[in-house]
Structure 1
Amino acid sequence: MATTPSIPQKDDFPKSLVYTLPPPTTPTPPTNILILMHGLGDLHNSFATLGTQLALPETAVLAIQAPNSLPIPEEAYHWGDDVIFDNSTGGLDSDAGFTRTRALLAGIVDDALAGRCGWCARGIFFFGYGQGGLAALDFVLSRPGVEFGGVVSAGAGAPAKVEAEGEGGKCRTPVLVCAAEKGSVVSEAGEGRLEELFVDAKVVRWKGRKEDGMMQTRDELLPVMEFYGRRLGSIAGVPEGALELIAGRAS
């Protein structure tokens, strides 16, 4: 009989990790954990709130902060190995390599969750926005033979220079990518690349959206909830009206 994993404590995590892990909201011990990864130049705090509002059944929430600070006066963080400017947009390039972030996630997943607390890979889920989505996809691609619970990436496809590593072929972790109908960084070629890299990859285009972003309506949020529900085996326990609540605060 499988044992229930334990909720990680501060001493279980890498000392450098900045995170929020809200206490469980139900008496049933969680058997899944959702790791939330914010976008470029953001903080982790708002994502902890989002994770709680998703109210996935039997699922703990772990919002983590990117390990690298941006060289600007405001407090802002990024997941990349370097700060690279995109000449075509005048902004920062999100696809900046993720070696340090891979190491951080390995410390969380391998040492803390699996090693000390008894979590299995199948019960570990990811949600990433923008560069956070890139970093989450990069991490699971570095372990193609491991089947994590799944990755939802909002506004980001697979990193351009990363392939599924090893001899196992396509990555086994299921992926859902949410993108704007027009003007998205996730191009048709990017959709094809996801299909080449992952056994199970789906791209949802948000109708009427002209740029990528977070979920703003019930219709945009619903595919995310359905994806997690399918992988969790059930969506029982999601509170009535939760879709409207989350969509209203995730924009």
Structure 2
Amino acid sequence: MQSINVQSPKSQKNKATPPKQSKCQLKFDYSPSSDGIDYNLLILFHGLGDSKKPFAQLGTKLNLPQTATLAIQAPEPVPYMDGCYQWYPSFDFLTGDMLTPANPERLKGLFRTRKLVSELLEHLITDCGFEASRIFLFGFSQGGTVALDIALFGSEIRNLGGVISISGYLLEEQRTDKKIGNGYGGYILVTQGEKDQVIGNRNQGEKKFKEIQRLCSPDAITSQVFISNKDHTMANSSAEWRIIHTFFAERMPRRNLQLESMSDIYLVNP
């Protein structure tokens, strides 16, 4: 008579393995989800001249359900400015002027950062247990540029969950870059102030956004929102944060814990 082996299915792991600083070159602050379920991961990228600490605090303050947070510090210090960091070279050492798209050092620095972030993503997925489709990126200004670059050009890790970029677009030098495969197929939200003197007017912002859309697949869901009476600053109004929180609520998946606790499912092996 054939024996029947009846087993209860293994429950999903609630806590992810915390990332190890020794596994990557970028410095970061990691916080597990406050509700004890590390189902998603939100990675935060600060702006030019900032550091990881304020964005680590922001990640904790957001208190997103079933979401761990990780704030990364840009790899390069800003010259002559203690405690300030940049994702790629931004200033001329001799004059202190901002570098223009004609300077190749900007793109070279972005490529270096892309490699470092890809290294960290590999660790988070392979060693820590996060799935790429449940990793979301959030960046401001230069940090937004990096977040978009990773999603669109990070060939090592594909199919990331989504990107929110506050006042940040791709570098102008990247207009000649070709999409990888069919392009990025996830979710993208870009917000920009209507009075942003760094990016430019609404028409200039729309042109930059079209470059992002060009590098996405037809399945990607992208949106651009202009915020009235806002300059080149981090999100600072209830209207903009409402848009951001709506993105999180609609795009971030969640486990149905109530259904899991009620399910009487068994694996039957002959």
- TM-score, normalising length: structure 1: 0.80
Structure 2 residue identity aligned to 1:150: G
Residues 1:84 and 1:201: Cα distance change in structure 2 (over 3 Å) = farther
1:84 Cα offset (Å):
4.2
Matched length: 226
1:180 aligns with 2:190: no
Larger Rg: 2
* Alignment partners' CA distance in 1, 2:135 and 2:168: 20
* Alignment partners' CA distance in 1, 2:59 and 2:195: 27
Match of 1:216 among 236, 245, 260: 236
1:2 Cα offset (Å):
8.3
* Alignment partners' CA distance in 2, 1:152 and 1:100: 22
Counterpart residue number, 1:126: 137
The runs of 5 or more residues in structure 1 that have no matched partner are 237-251
* Alignment partners' CA distance in 2, 1:93 and 1:49: 32
Check the 8 A contact 1:12/1:116 in 2, yes or no: no
The runs of 5 or more residues in structure 2 that have no matched partner are 1-9, 257-270
Percent identity between matched residues is: 30
1:173 Cα offset (Å):
2.7
Match of 1:192 among 202, 210, 213: 210
Structural mapping, 1:146-161, within 5 Å: 146-161=158-173
Which is worse superposed, 187-196 or 173-182? 187-196
Counterpart residue number, 2:34: 25
1:12 Cα offset (Å):
6.0
1:9 Cα offset (Å):
3.5
Residues 1:200 and 1:12: Cα distance change in structure 2 (over 3 Å) = farther
Match of 1:55 among 35, 59, 63: 63
Deviations 1:50-102 (A, max 9, x none): 1111111100010010011111142211111x3445xxx95455992211111
RMSD of aligned residue pairs (Cα, Å): 2.6
Match of 2:20 among 10, 26, 43: 10
* Alignment partners' CA distance in 1, 2:144 and 2:136: 12
Partner SS state of residue 61, structure 2: helix
1:135 aligns with 2:155: no
Structural mapping, 1:162-177, within 5 Å: 162=174, 163-166=177-180, 168-177=181-190
Counterpart residue number, 2:260: none
Check the 8 A contact 2:114/2:154 in 1, yes or no: no
* Alignment partners' CA distance in 2, 1:191 and 1:123: 24
Check the 8 A contact 1:48/1:63 in 2, yes or no: yes
Residues 1:216 and 1:13: Cα distance change in structure 2 (over 3 Å) = same
Counterpart residue number, 1:245: none
* Alignment partners' CA distance in 2, 1:52 and 1:33: 12
* Alignment partners' CA distance in 1, 2:20 and 2:171: 31
Residues 1:173 and 1:122: Cα distance change in structure 2 (over 3 Å) = same
Residues 1:194 and 1:73: Cα distance change in structure 2 (over 3 Å) = closer
- TM-score, normalising length: structure 2: 0.75
* Alignment partners' CA distance in 2, 1:127 and 1:133: 7
